Chains A and B, each alone.
Chain A
Amino acid sequence: MSRLLKGKVLGIGLVMPSFLTLLVLVAYPVMMSVRTSLQNRAGEWSWDNYRYIFTEPLISQNIRHTMFVTIISCFFVLIIAYGIALYLRFSTRFFSKLINKLYLIPMFIPGVIAVYGFINFYRNNGWVARLIGTDNMLPIIYHVRGLIMINVWFNIPFTTMLLLSALQGIPNSIIEGARDVGATKWQLFIRFILPLSYKTMLVAITFLFMGIIGSFTAPFLIDRNAPQMLGVSMQQHFSVFNEIGQSSSLAVFMFLLSSAVGCFYIWSNMKHSKKELS
């Protein structure tokens, strides 16, 4: 009995450091924001802040803008990264080997520097404009287009890595087996490759969604002044308008959005793990 107790104490003891860190650095601030978001300026409990973020036209615009940018960016990143991952998985040519070595490089470039380079490249008197002529240049910087482009650029390496590892996890023999029974390339993709990498796609979507919805640097430097991404809007309410309660309610709202995606991910994972023990 005492051995069992010892084991339990040891187990809990081992979990404690990370649990406490989480408690102090994540759970406590989250609870504080929730509390602050539910208080008005006088420090009384009220729904004022939430009323504000859901009725103020500027904020609703920001929310719509944020969702638009996030969903479109996720869509493009996923499509492009999946394409690259498929190519890297199934091609053995020289070019694919080259890309395989290069595609992770953007991950090692600090965000601010990348954004600076991006602005220099695409602004209306930047390098591209000089090459194709200023008149032929579509507005990219200080436009939602530019924001989506930089989101795609930032997120492709990690997403590709994730999807590539999923695709590499599909043994060749499974694919050869399918070809052996007569599956065409298209059937191979729809019936085998997609279902077998679908779960990782959900993981990728979760990461992408959370990363992009809460992004700050790129929207702050590249996006227009209005409408804004929620991250920028939150920063502005906090340090420019000094509306701590309102920025807290925005933070809570974003947290709930991300949690919804997280729950969706966990739910779909559980649904699958019941079916497959792999």
Chain B
Amino acid sequence: MSIQLSVEGLSKIYQTGEGVRDISIEVAKGELVTLLGPSGCGKTTVLRSVGGFVDPSEGIIRIGDRDVTNVVPEKRPSAMVFQSYNLWPHMTVYDNLAFSLKLKKKKKSFITERVDWALNLVHLTGSEKKYPSELSGGQQQRIALARALLLEPEVLLLDEPFSALDAKLRHELREELREIQAEQNLTMLFVTHDQEEALSISDRIVVMNRGKIEQVAQPYEIYHKPASLFVAQFIGRMNFIKGYAQPDGIRIDQLIFPNERGLIGEVAVGIRPEDVKLSEGKPSIEAKVAKIMMLGHYVEVTLHTIFGQLKMFIDKNEINTVELGRIVHVTLTRIQSFQDSNENYLERNEAYATI
């Protein structure tokens, strides 16, 4: 697959000292890559640099084969969908969509045809004459997407496009976006702070923190093999407890896990709630059921153990196997251990229970 967008060694430091340092990302043609991170991590800076709205201090940005690092936004082959609905309030939907084509001096019949095509794509046929203020938030963002698509961008940039919408609409638009992306074979760079959104729509995810890349991987890998403690904390639900690493294994109470990476001393052990299982046999951990919450298709159980609180997900059909206040035995089927090295917990060890 050919590389459609490449960012090499991008740095942008603001006067406040914040910014991004040495970011390198490659996006293949037809790929949807998400920049994910907490607010202030620099993901929007990267996106805006690609769009041309931020002048990077260092680094090269290529779209296709072309170096666009110093090209102004109006001449870049990229299109952007912004966080706020930024349709032009003084223009009708038709004018909003037709504007870029009018700038290119296209024929009127061609423009009408393309606008129809775009409206059909976002399921808003017939709204040409409306003003943005007459549309709902979701509809406005669909039009914004259509407007960007009409530019036939080589790279489509989306800056938290759905964050202002309510949850249900967000899910709908997410799916629609994924469909359109697949249909049109679009290359997309998508910024979000919503990890669920990132996991659900991305081909690959770039997790960022404090202006640096923590991990670049496919959603499954990001979830299952977080490269750092930060990623482990940020993506999905995770229990964190203390463990002790010895040459023969990582010890948590009675449980011992293999220590292939040779971590030493106190380590942070992360356990996904779905990897905490009720167990009758030994070795196991004794725990008291402190809270039971029904969350739809699964149940979240809060357990108190001697090394702190553990959350456990069980199937909704197993809700009768736990009872408030009772002592249960659990085992951990899979753990991730992180060792404190230079404050970053970068040393990571992944281990499965050997039962």
A interface vs B, CB < 8 Å?
171, 173-174, 176-184, 187, 191-192, 195-196, 275-278
Chain B 54-90 interface mask (CB, 8 Å, partner A; 1/0): 0000000000000000001111001110111011111
Q: B131 near A276 (CB under 8 angstroms)?
A: yes
Are the C-beta atoms of A181 and B103 separated by less than 8 Å? yes
With a cutoff of 8 Å between Cβ atoms, the chain A residues found around residue B88 in the complex are: 174, 177-178, 192
Residue B133 at the chain A interface, CB threshold 8 Å: yes
Max count, chain B CB within 10 A of own CB: residue among A171, A181, A187? A181
B147 at the interface (CB under 8 A from A): yes
Tell me whether B246 is interfacial, beta carbon within 8 Å: no
| Nearest neighbor of A176 in chain B, beta-carbon distance | B53
Contact, CB under 8 Å: A180 / B73: yes
Contact: B131 with A182, CB < 8 Å?
Answer: no
Point out the residues of chain A lying under 8 angstroms from B51, CB to CB.
176, 180
Q: Which residues of B contact A (CB under 8 A)?
A: 51, 53, 72-75, 78-80, 82-84, 86-90, 99-100, 103-104, 131, 133-134, 144, 147-148, 151
Which of chain A's residues has its CB closest to B103's CB?
A182
| Closest-CB distance, A90 to chain B (whole angstroms) | 14
Given contacts A181-B103, A183-B99, A196-B89, 8 further A-B contacts (CB under 8 A): A173-B82, A176-B73, A178-B88, A181-B99, A182-B103, A182-B151, A275-B131, A276-B89
Alpha-carbon distance A173/B48, docked complex (angstroms):
11
By the criterion CB–CB under 8 Å, are A187 and B103 in contact? yes
Chain B residues with CB below 8 A from A191, complex form: 99
Identify which of B72, B86, B134 contacts A171 (C-beta below 8 A). B86
Question: A173 vs B100: C-alpha distance in the bound complex, in angstroms?
Answer: 16
- Complex Cα–Cα for A179 and B100 (A): 10
A277 to B131 alpha-carbon distance, docked (Å)? 9
Closest CB in chain A relative to B219 CB, distance in Å:
28
Residues of chain A lying within 8 A (CB to CB) of residue B73: 176, 179-180
Q: Which residue of A lies closest to B159 (CB)?
A: A173
Q: Please give, as numbers and ranges, the residues of chain B lying within 8 Å of A182 by CB-CB distance.
A: 74-75, 100, 103-104, 151
Q: Which residues of B contact A275 (CB under 8 A)?
A: 131
**Contact for B134 among A180, A195, A277, CB less than 8 A:** A277
Partner of A176, one of B82, B87, B131, B151: B82
Q: How far is the CA of A277 from the CA of B133 in the complex (A)?
A: 6
Q: For residue A278, which residues in chain B have a CB less than 8 angstroms away from its CB?
A: 89, 133
Q: Least Cβ distance of A167 to chain B in Å?
A: 14
Interchain Cβ contacts under 8 Å between A and B, 13 examples: A173-B86, A174-B88, A176-B86, A177-B87, A177-B147, A180-B73, A180-B80, A180-B148, A181-B99, A181-B100, A181-B103, A182-B75, A275-B131
* B residues in contact with A179, CB < 8 Å: 53, 72-74
Q: Across the two chains, which residue of chain B brings its CB closest to A275? A: B131
A187 to B148, CA, bound (A): 18
- Which residue in chain A gives the minimum CB-CB distance to B51? A180
Q: Hey, which chain A residues are within 8 Å of B78, CB to CB?
A: 180
Contact B79 A181 (CB under 8 A): yes
Interface centre among A174, A184, A192, A275 (most CB of B within 10 A): A174
Please, which residue of chain B has its CB at the minimum distance from the CB of A170?
Answer: B89
- Supposing A180-B51, A180-B74 touch, asked if A173 and B83 sit within 8 A by C-beta, the answer is yes
Q: How far is the CA of A171 from the CA of B90 in the complex (A)?
A: 13
Docked CA distance A171–B131 (Å): 17
| B99 cross-chain contacts in A, Cβ below 8 A | 178, 181, 183, 191
Q: Which 4 A-B pairs have the closest CB atoms?
A: A173-B86, A181-B100, A277-B133, A173-B82
Chain A nearest CB from B288 CB (Å) reads: 52
CB neighbours (8 Å) of A195 from chain B are 90
Give every chain B residue within 8 A of A180 (Cβ-Cβ): 51, 73-74, 78-80, 148, 151
A176 touches B74 (CB 8 A): no
> Which chain B residue lies CB-closest to A178?
B88
Nearest A residue to B101 by beta-carbon distance? A181
Minimum distance in angstroms from A7 CB to a CB of chain B: 31
Contact B74 A184 (CB under 8 A): yes
Residues of B within 8 A of A177 (CB): 80, 82, 86-88, 144, 147
With a CB–CB cut-off of 8 A, which chain A residues contact B72? 179
B89 cross-chain contacts in A, Cβ below 8 A = 174, 196, 276, 278
State in angstroms the CA–CA spacing of A190 and B99 once bound together: 13
Contact of A181 with B147 in the complex, beta carbons under 8 Å: yes
